[in-house]
Structure 1
Amino acid sequence: MPKDLNKEKKVDPASRVLSLVSHKLKTPLSIINGYTEAILSQLKPEEKETFNAKALGDISKQGEKLAILIDKLVRFSSVSNLTQEDIKKQEVNVKGLFSSAAAACVLRDDSLSIMSSDATIRRQGPSIDIKCPPEATIYADKALVSIALEELLDNSIKFNNNTIKKIKLFYYEEDDKNILAVADNGVGIKEEDISLIFEKFYQVDDFFTGQIEGWGLGLALVKMIMNIHEGTISVRSQYGIGTIISLRFPKQ
């Protein structure tokens, strides 16, 4: 039976470009990072304080940052082509989602701490406080919701110039919705910017003058994930005080 071309999945041209660029960059960067790490591991103790060693260390750190940025591009381009038929919905434990997303952020920044009733990691620096009934569940694609939570947590950390960064993950029910929320004590968002933050490549950067790392794709990605789930996303923010972003999932 001939293929119906009209029913083929449409691919956003911009997403196709992002996917191509990210994949083209990934291989050469992995080689650069691999050789840099190998050279650093072979340095003798007396060589580690030389200019060359310090330069290699800086190259390695910047290479790791680029690798993270490219992974985010790959992730965005992959999710942007998904439809409701592509995702795998199931009953997912919310506290488990919160804990795994927080743990992923801890791996990227070991100054973070997680506080919950069943596990506490004590370190100096920002804290992620988890508040959720152990039995709470949502009907969703576990991998995609994890991505959304990690993006929101990353933003809560990056856009926060407080000495003590406080982040809360909490769950509640409202009417026919299960709600996952991320609250922070960061810089907040001006009212006129709230309608813009979900656009691709947009960043609210008043406090940091262009120094925030990232593509400005995180919240656009979160919105796509919520659209696929037929859910919604809402923002409450007070500029200079903090922000609460809520993900509203329909009950099964």
Structure 2
Amino acid sequence: MTFAIADVIPALADALAPFKLSSPLPELLASHDRVTAFEIAREHTRPPLYLDARLTRLFDTRGQLVSAVLMLRDVTDERRERQAQVDFFNLVSHKLRTPLTVLTGYMDVLRGLSPERWGSEAHRILLVCRDEVGRLNDTFLRMLQFKRQADQQRPAGSEASFVGPLLQSVAEDIRERYRGREVELRVLAEPDLAPLDIHPEQLRFALDQILDNAVKFGDKNPVRVAASARGLDTAVEVVVADNGPGIPHEYRDRVFEGFVQIEDIGTGEVPGLGVGLRLAREVITANGGSVALHSVIGQGTEVSVRLPVQAR
């Protein structure tokens, strides 16, 4: 007489029912193979869960099933790293392909111009080519930024940071960077904020990434960004709020993973590599701080940073 696994371990079917299986559950329960390997996934939760499963059936000398052992191994981190690699190559391919396509096209136009048209057209075409080379350069610079942060090449020293002047300075850089767009960027910092226990170069870098992200993904005219800083008991809180499109719920954890940009399609039109918020959070948390994100679709996103003040 042969018993089904569900008869030997009644709870097994109920335990696996809420999960997505790489092999259908009825087939697993009905199989007579000694060992079956499959994957268990719970993708509807955040964060998702992925398990490698190995079901070993134990038979007696008459070939009857007497028990079964289910061994599980958490492979969530491995799946996340593999997906990050896929996201990276997909995103970089878009970022490189678009300017390279433009450059190639305009080179063909230049090659086909008659001598009498060269003077009138060449200047305009070269300006376009210069802009596209700038986009390529921006992509490589951001890749180097990510590499540096991944290698934890942080400046040495215990120099304190004063967030008010730094926030104003970064805001000026952002306005200049996006001078071709309609941007309203306001900064309001409480006076006499305590110095922070983070190197100024690191704080400037983190603030730049957050403010740049807020402006870059703005979908309204004007793009409105408000940056504020206030003192708490033992910390300073910086809040950057924008009127952008908002971040879908399923992306709110992923934007901190890196190589993630939220576009309707992967056009490569938005500059950058989708690593800004990840780099900012790594810098902040490495210095004892925290980063939180709140977003409403169609209304905008708010990023809150808290950093400890320097001990007196």
State which structure, 1 or 2, has the greater radius of gyration over its C-alpha atoms.
Answer: 2
The equivalent residue for 1:75 is 145
Write out per-residue CA displacement over residues 98-152 of structure 1, whole angstroms, 9 at most, x where no aligned residue: 111111112212257xxxxxxxxxxxx2111111123113221111111111111
Per the alignment, residue 153 of structure 1 pairs with 211
Pair 93,60 (structure 1): closer, same or farther in 2 beyond 3 Å: same
Q: 1:203: Cα distance to partner?
A: 1.2
Q: In structure 2, what is the Cα distance between the partners aligned to 1:183 and 1:208? A: 25
Question: Secondary structure of 1:186's match?
Answer: coil
Gaps of 5+ in 2: 1-83, 89-115
Taking the aligned partners of 2:263 and 2:158, their CA distance within structure 1 comes to 35
CA contact (8 A) 1:83 1:228 kept: no
* Mapped pair 1:216 → 2:274: yes
Matched, 1:141 2:196: no
| CA shift in 2, pair 1:83/1:227, >3 Å | farther
2:92 maps to which residue?
none
Matches within 5 A, 1:48-63: 50-63=120-133
- Of 121, 135, 153, 1:65 maps to 135
SS at match of 2:279: helix
Percent same amino acid among aligned pairs?
Answer: 24
- CA–CA distance in structure 1, aligned partners of residues 252 and 121 of structure 2: 46
Q: Does 1:96 align with 2:154?
A: no
- SS of 1:224's equivalent in the other structure is helix
Query: CA shift at 1:208, angstroms?
Result: 8.2
Is 2:186 the counterpart of 1:129?
A: yes
Give the aligned CA root-mean-square deviation in angstroms: 2.8
Provide closer, same or farther for how the CA distance between residues 47 and 98 of structure 1 changes in structure 2, counting only shifts above 3 A: farther
2:257 equivalent in structure 1: 199
Q: 1:197 is paired with a residue of what secondary structure?
A: helix
Contact 2:197 2:287 in 1 (8 A): no
1:162 has 2:220 as partner:
yes
103-112 vs 155-164, which moves further: 103-112
Q: Matched residue of 2:282: which SS?
A: helix
1:251 matched to 2:309? The reply is: yes
Local SS of the residue matching 2:254: coil
Normalising by structure 2, we get a TM-score of 0.57
Amino acid at match of 1:164: P
Shift in Å, 1:207: 8.4
Q: Name the amino acid aligned to 1:132.
A: A
Q: Is the 8 A contact 2:175 2:183 kept in 1?
A: no
Specify the alignment match of 1:40 in structure 2.
none
Aligned mates of 2:158, 2:129 — CA distance in 1:
41
Give yes or no for the alignment of 1:237 onto 2:295.
Answer: yes
* 8 Å CA contact retained: 2:138, 2:272: no
User: TM-score, normalised to structure 1's length?
Assistant: 0.70
- Residues 1:150 and 1:207: Cα distance change in structure 2 (over 3 Å): farther
Segments of structure 1 that go 5 or more residues without pairing to the other structure are 1-13, 19-45, 113-124
Q: Would you identify which runs of 4 or more consecutive aligned residues in structure 1 move more than 6 Å?
A: 46-49
Correspondence for 2:243? 185
* Structure having greater relative contact order (Cα 8 Å, sep ≥ 6): 1
Q: Counterparts of 2:164 and 2:256 in 1: how far apart (Å)? A: 26
Deviation (angstroms), 1:227 = 2.3
